[in-house]
Amino acid sequence: MFFDFGYIGLTEYEFQFAWEWQAQLLTAQSRAISELRTSINHFIKLADEADERRLKLEQMQLSIDKTKVEIDKIGSDEQTGPIEIKIVGKKRD
């Protein structure tokens, strides 16, 4: 903290570094995600098995799982050479 003793009175300045702002953001984000996860779990416990919203949640989870598997598959492909990019177009007369 810095203090400025001027003619009018005492002025106090407080500053924060960038990593302090980032730490606060990550903490708030973590709390929000935790609250969302808890709310979803409560909803799943209370919702009927045939509830359309519950089926949509399951569909979203399956989509996330599918994307993770596709990413793992792409990452596990061994490439022995450089990547080849082909551009194909029609000739204009």
pLDDT in tens, 46-87: 887 778 888 888 899 999 999 998 888 877 666 656 777 787
SS3 70: helix
**Residue 35 CA to chain centroid, in angstroms?**
15
In the structure, what pLDDT confidence band is assigned to residue 32 with cuts at 50, 70 and 90? Answer: very high
pTM over 0.85: no
Q: What is the chain's alpha carbon radius of gyration, rounded to the nearest angstrom?
A: 27
Which DSSP symbol is given to 91? P
Both tokens of residue 89?
């177009």
The pLDDT of residue 89 is above 70: yes
Per-residue model confidence as pLDDT tens digits over 1-30: 455 555 566 677 777 788 888 999 999 999
